[in-house]
Chain A
Amino acid sequence: NAGVTQTPKFQVLKTGQSMTLQCAQDMNHEYMSWYRQDPGMGLRLIHYSVGAGITDQGEVPNGYNVSRSTTEDFPLRLLSAAPSQTSVYFCASSNDRDGGSEKLFFGSGTQLSVL
């Protein structure tokens, strides 16, 4: 009953360091995405994927890379961390392309601080 699993839950980086936020889902969902949430704001889309091997940019993609080599995993890479990337990061997945009542499943979030 895992759903969407994000690791790590907390991370502190120094400016210029790189790291990968992991996201895995065990529901065989076709669609996955990454969002960031800054204080006092709603979530903003970073990157998304509509299937293995297919990714696209969202609203705030700069400074992040993604790849989707398997259906289950959708890692988010920070190439050279900056203080502006301090945020809470959420991964999400779904399997409903045509609408309906299928909900979007969110992971529990990764809180990232860049010093």
Chain B
Amino acid sequence: AQKITQTQPGMFVQEKEAVTLDCTYDTSDPSYGLFWYKQPSSGEMIFLIYQGSYDQQNATEGRYSLNFQKARKSANLVISASQLGDSAMYFCAITPLYTGFQKLVFGTGTRLLVSP
């Protein structure tokens, strides 16, 4: 069984500042993948970043980086230099590998508001 916990229902940040969104996970699978998705008010799911459990280095994608601490079972998303367009819901998700990423378990999400 897998579980994602996102303990921050809402976060506020000022434009151009960095923000960390927390994600802890639990899994019995030895190999797994962790995702972060952004969901703006328009409703679509936008892929941000992926980290495999076997990856030695933390993933980065532009202004997004994933602070992966395997021993602590955490996969926090760091957004550097926040922009107004970053205001959205953010979901952390986990999946066992070797299923084509078709068995994602999502957290309840964190709503991020970026102010000018």
- The number of chain A residues touching the other chain, given as a range, is 35 or more
Which of A32, A59, A109 is within 8 Å of B44, CB to CB? Answer: A109
Answer yes or no: B83 CB below 8 A from chain A CBs.
Answer: no
Q: Are A98 and B93 in contact (CB under 8 A)?
A: no
**Cα of A97 to Cα of B37 in the assembled complex, Å:** 20
The B contact surface, by secondary structure, is: loop
Q: Are A43 and B100 in contact (CB under 8 A)?
A: no
- How many A-B pairs have beta carbons closer than 8 Å: the answer is 84
In the complex, residue of chain A having the shortest beta-carbon distance to the beta carbon of B107:
A42
Tell me, rounded to whole Å, the shortest Cβ–Cβ distance linking A106 to chain B. Answer: 4
In the complex, residue of chain A having the shortest beta-carbon distance to the beta carbon of B91:
A42
Q: Are B108 and A32 in contact (CB under 8 A)?
A: no
- The number of chain B residues touching the other chain, given as a range, is 20 to 34
B 81-116 binary contact with A (CB < 8 Å = 1; else 0): 000000000010100011111111111110000000
Which of B44, B47, B104 is within 8 Å of A45, CB to CB? Answer: B104
In the complex, residue of chain B having the shortest beta-carbon distance to the beta carbon of A59:
B105
Q: Which B residues touch A43, using CB under 8 A?
A: 45, 91, 93, 104, 106
In the complex, residue of chain B having the shortest beta-carbon distance to the beta carbon of A43:
B106
Answer yes or no: B31 CB below 8 A from chain A CBs.
Answer: yes
Q: Which A residues touch B47, using CB under 8 A?
A: 103-106
Tell me, rounded to whole Å, the shortest Cβ–Cβ distance linking A100 to chain B. Answer: 7
Q: Which A residues touch B52, using CB under 8 A?
A: 99-100
In the complex, residue of chain B having the shortest beta-carbon distance to the beta carbon of A104:
B101
Q: Which B residues touch A101, using CB under 8 A?
A: 50, 59
Q: Which A residues touch B101, using CB under 8 A?
A: 31, 94, 96, 102, 104
Can you show 16 pairs from A to B with CB atoms below 8 A apart? A33-B104, A35-B104, A42-B4, A42-B106, A43-B91, A43-B93, A92-B45, A94-B101, A96-B101, A97-B98, A98-B98, A99-B33, A99-B54, A103-B35, A106-B45, A106-B47
List B residues at the A interface (Cβ < 8 Å).
4, 31, 33, 35, 37, 43-45, 47, 50, 52, 54, 59, 91, 93, 97-109
List A residues at the B interface (Cβ < 8 Å).
30-33, 35, 40-45, 48-50, 58-59, 88, 90, 92, 94-106, 108-109, 111
